Amino acid sequence: MLDTSELTAAVERFADRLRAAPQSRLQRGAAAEGLALARELALRAQRIEEPEGAGRIMPDAGVFTVADQLVVAGNDLAEILRTAPGGSRERELGEAVDLVRKAAGRAGL
């Protein structure tokens, strides 16, 4: 099984920063960046689970829920990568970790 702790740690760090951010920073773009990342992570998980399925878009539930949405999407992807049959998923794991770090940087967190 693949060790996905690096992904879950990166997601938790970003989510914690989103939770601690003032409303003004969230509204200036940090929440939008977090939601875009959560949506991307969720779509990646869906593609692995259902390669032929239509992707479902995570809804915008507001600036104060983005951190939780990010954690759910990140943990879902981590679990799927950790347990996915059909070979190694290290590349996808590395890409996901990079996405999280870059999104946190763009969010200014």
The answer to pTM > 0.85 is yes
- For 5-42, what is each residue's pLDDT tens digit? 999 999 999 999 999 999 999 999 999 999 999 999 99
- For 47-82, what is each residue's pLDDT tens digit? 998 888 888 999 999 999 999 999 999 999 999 999
CB 7 within 8 A of CB 81: yes
CB 46 within 8 A of CB 53: yes
